[in-house]
Amino acid sequence: MKFPAKKVILLGLGVIFGIGFWLGSSSFISGAACTDHSFLGWAWSENAGWISFSCKNTSSTVDYGVDKNPLTGLLSGQAWSEDIGWISFNSADLAGCPSGTCEARMSNSTYAISGWARALAASSSASGWDGWIKLNGTATDASSTPYGVAMNNSTKELYGWAWGGNTANAVSAGVIGWLSFNCSNRSSCGTIDYHVHLAGSTPTVANLTPPANISANYCGDSASFEWLYQDPGGSSLNNYQFRVNTTGNASDTNPAVDLSITGRNDPVNSTTTQQIVVKIIPGANQLSYNISTYYWWVKVCNQSGACSDWTQGPNFSTPERHYPIARVAWDKETISISETVQFCSTADVANPNDPCYSTCWTTSTTPVIVSPDNPSWACSVCFDSSNNYIACQEVGSSYIWDLSSMTTGDYEFVSSTAVSVNPQIRFLTAGKNREVGLDITTGSSSCSGSKLLNANLPIPRWKETSPF
């Protein structure tokens, strides 16, 4: 199939200076209704003139432009020509295309663009022109190169040619003819520098989620924040800043948390999770308990170096008191089946006659304080309203003992139940690494702990008998 030769753009000096002034003038400042789109710049048709791929190119108050889905490469939106009107890349407008898949799409691997665009004015044309613009084809020029449009991934510039004629590529019915996406196609950039390019996109964040007042966060002294990374140009995350304070001002010079995380390569539409330590007495970049209002912000930057503004997430508070620390202890060094074992979660620290007193306090010295880091205290730790360490028995906690890793025939409670503070349990079968779990609830806070034990067969009793 023959097709017209690609033509060098020939412009008179008046046209050159006129268009050059237009491209360089302040009319390129976007109008109030114009938003960012994936592409910027101009294509050129000798028959149809300049074609704008974004309202950012002019002072248009109409929001138009061509966009690229960063995940699928599908193109959408509209370009504008003063001579032939709207040129659509929307799949809905491309239904019934002459051949192939009726869409415009850029490959995410080769960056070649396939499919069609269409000048919408052709739908009312009586001239026989059908408005179709083919973005790549098999016909070749003198160098045996098939025509088509692609992107240079280094410069983000589109280059190459599209063909706009009727479905038979007849010259007489072609209104657009050859459509050039880059002045380098015919070495005309010295005359006037034009091209269509993928815009330097600005990343954003969405779905900012603060830490919930739940055990998944605070049983481990940690608060979990999440947000969704987005970039209209498809550029991956490179780094982000994370900030928390109590003033509500993102520029506060003394925030509670101020982190700069680098070396990321998270794809578009991925969720970022940031864990922050929570302490009764917080250190640098840590949160405190019993804060009624914390404010937080995120700023993200893409691989191209473009950064979002500070984006504020929903305010949050931290629990009034530290969540309980659940620990399991028992009174025997070796556990044999059929013997009763005293399990301990807490004890009356002032009563040496408490069955669990000597199990929770592991030394014979006078107890000083119940705390998570006191090696003398082996049982659970709870907290009062002032966040002082305290035995859980003193704050009226509730308890659930969990032996679900075993069958009911492996054990039995003795004079106690699964909700007893310090139950007695007898193991009926032998087994290794059996898990005994404990859930402690104080007010609205609840945490779990567990410990493994071995239930052993009893040691045989020997009686020496003289053979004589």
Ranges 91-100, 146-155, 288-297, 298-307, most confident: 288-297
pLDDT at 434: 96
Domains of the chain: 13-198 (no CATH), 204-312 (2.60.40.10), 329-456 (2.60.40.1080)
Q: How far apart are CA 298 and CA 204, in angstroms?
A: 10
Average pLDDT, the chain: 86
CA geometry: angle at 260 spanning 257 and 262, to 5°? 150
Rg (CA), the chain: 36
pLDDT at 137: 87
How far lies 319's CA from each of 94, 386, 394, 443, in Å?
56, 12, 20, 11
For residue 200, name the pLDDT band (cuts at 50, 70, 90).
confident
Mean pLDDT of all residues in 347-366: 88
Q: How far apart are CA 130 and CA 175, in angstroms?
A: 9
Mean pLDDT of all residues in 12-29: 32
Is residue 20 predicted with pLDDT exceeding 50? no
Mean pLDDT of all residues in 284-301: 97
Name the token pair of 234.
């498809």
Mean pLDDT of all residues in 130-149: 80
Continuous segment of H or E residues that includes residue 118: strand 112-119
CA 68 centroid distance within chain: 20
pLDDT at 30: 39
For residue 125, name the pLDDT band (cuts at 50, 70, 90).
low
3-state SS assignment for residue 386: coil
Is residue 40 predicted with pLDDT exceeding 50? yes
pLDDT at 141: 56
List pLDDT tens digits, range 50-59. Answer: 999 999 888 7
DSSP code per residue over 274-329: EEEEEESS--TT-EESS-S-BEEEEEEEETTS-BPPPEEPPPB---SSPPPB---E
Kindly report the pTM of this predicted structure.
Answer: 0.61
The proportion of the chain whose per-residue pLDDT surpasses 90, expressed as a percent, equals 63
Is residue 169 predicted with pLDDT exceeding 50? no
Handedness of CA 414, 393, 362, 453 (dihedral sign): positive
3-state SS assignment for residue 385: coil
Residue labelled with tokens 């739908």: 123
Mean pLDDT of all residues in 9-34: 37
Q: How far apart are CA 400 and CA 407, in angstroms?
A: 17
